[in-house]
Every structure is written in structure tokens, then in C-alpha cells.
Chains A and B, each alone.
Chain A
Amino acid sequence: MAGKLMTLLSDLKEAEALAFVDKALGEGADPEGLLADAKEGM
């Protein structure tokens, strides 16, 4: 899962990135980890 959000954001896949966040949060992922991952994509 690590790095997935970074890839989706950097490839400008908006819908997939937002859906991934919803799914990850639903599965109990660490929000800070997700945020860090997203920022890496920027």
C-alpha cells in the first residue's frame, strides 16, 4: 500500500487517488502515513 497514493497523485489520477484514500481509511490506515505519501507525490 505504501507509495500507492504517491503514484496516483503524481500521475494526476484524481478519482483513483480519492477512492484509494476512502478505501484505505475504511481499512484503518494511518492518516498521517497517507498524508506523507501524498506529499511525496507532489
Chain B
Amino acid sequence: MNIVGQRFAKGEYFIPDLVFSGEILKGIVQKLEPKLKAAKGKEAKRLGKVIIGTVAGDIHDIGKDLVVFMLDVSGFEVTDLGIDVPAQKFVDAIKKTNSTVVELSGFLTLAFDSMKETVEAIKKAGLRDKVKIMIGGGQIDDYVKNYTGADAFGKDAMAGVSLAKKWVGGM
């Protein structure tokens, strides 16, 4: 975790600071991108591909959108499936994009069952060993992680980005 992430973890920075730092990084990337493309002769390399969505039965998207934003500015290619996403849509997206990281978001406790169903659908499709699955949202802990069959949980947006980076070998 880098400086802003560390300050957030220590309680020195808050979510608006995270968002603002992301906006600054976005502005910097916009200025650098033409030079990077010219230097490489192609689009700047992305860290990896991530699929994210709020699972079926849940429509909360503030946390998910924050993670999407942080992943994007951190260099990931993000496929955002939106809210109330059926398990099969995650399966289809994995097949279509060849993403290696899946992030299941949900704020309501009923989302835990949907997360479990989504993990099982991914398993049934024969894709479980091709992806790492992270859950995040409201009251997520190790018990919920184990219940759903996910690989890990992210307690906040920065933790989600750090995990994704670790999984794709970016840090």
C-alpha cells in the first residue's frame, strides 16, 4: 500500500481524500498518456483485468463505484457489470474478457447468498481455477468469506486494489 492508502488505513485520510487523490492521479495519467503511447507505440500496458459487480438482489453501488475508480486509476482494465447482477452474467463476463480477478460487491446481508451462488456458478462453469474472487461491502469478514467460497475479502477500496495487485503480480 502506498502513501495515500497508508494514510487512509491510519485514519488520517477519509473517503473524499481517496477520491480526490484518484482524481489527481487521473489528471496526471491524462497528461502522461500521449507521451507513454508515443514511447511505446501502443496503449500503455494495464496491470490486469478485473470484473466487478454488485451481486443479485442488491443495488448498492457507492462502494463498488469507488473500487472501480480506484482500480482504474491504479492501472487495471475494469469491467463493471453494474448492480443486481445475476451469477450467470459474471460467468459470461469471465469467458468474454478472460479476466483473472472477480470482485463481488454487496451491502445487504442477503447479498451473502448471492455471492455464494455466484462463486458456485463460476465453479460449475469450470472457471474457478482461472480466477481469484474477492468480496467486499458492508459487514464482510472471514466468516462470510468462508461461507461464500471467495478467496479473500477487501475491507475497503484500497484493500481491494492492493489484493488485486497482489493477485496479478503488480506489487
What is A's interface to B at a CB cutoff of 8 Å?
A: 5-6, 9-10, 12, 14, 17-18, 21-22, 25, 31-32, 34-35, 38-42
Tell me whether A40 and B29 are in contact (CB under 8 A). no
Report which of A5, A21, A42 forms a contact with B2, defined as CB distance below 8 A.
A42
What is B's interface to A at a CB cutoff of 8 Å?
A: 2-5, 7, 17, 20-25, 27-29, 31-32, 35-36, 39, 73-75
A9 to B58, CA, bound (A): 35
Tell me whether A34 and B3 are in contact (CB under 8 A). no
Report which of B7, B20, B31 forms a contact with A14, defined as CB distance below 8 A.
B20
Tell me whether A9 and B17 are in contact (CB under 8 A). no
Interface of B is mostly: helix
Report which of B3, B4, B32 forms a contact with A21, defined as CB distance below 8 A.
B32
A12-B17, A12-B20, A18-B27 known; A41 vs B3 contact (CB < 8 Å)? yes
| Chain A residues closer than 8 Å to B21, beta-carbon distance | 9-10, 12, 41-42
A22 to B25, CA, bound (A): 14
Tell me whether B36 and A35 are in contact (CB under 8 A). yes
Determine the residue in chain A with the shortest Cβ distance to B39: A31
CB distance from B7 to the nearest CB of A (A): 7
A31-B35, A31-B36 known; A39 vs B20 contact (CB < 8 Å)? no
Tell me whether B24 and A9 are in contact (CB under 8 A). yes
Tell me whether A21 and B28 are in contact (CB under 8 A). yes
Tell me whether A41 and B29 are in contact (CB under 8 A). no
| Chain A residues closer than 8 Å to B31, beta-carbon distance | 18, 21-22, 25
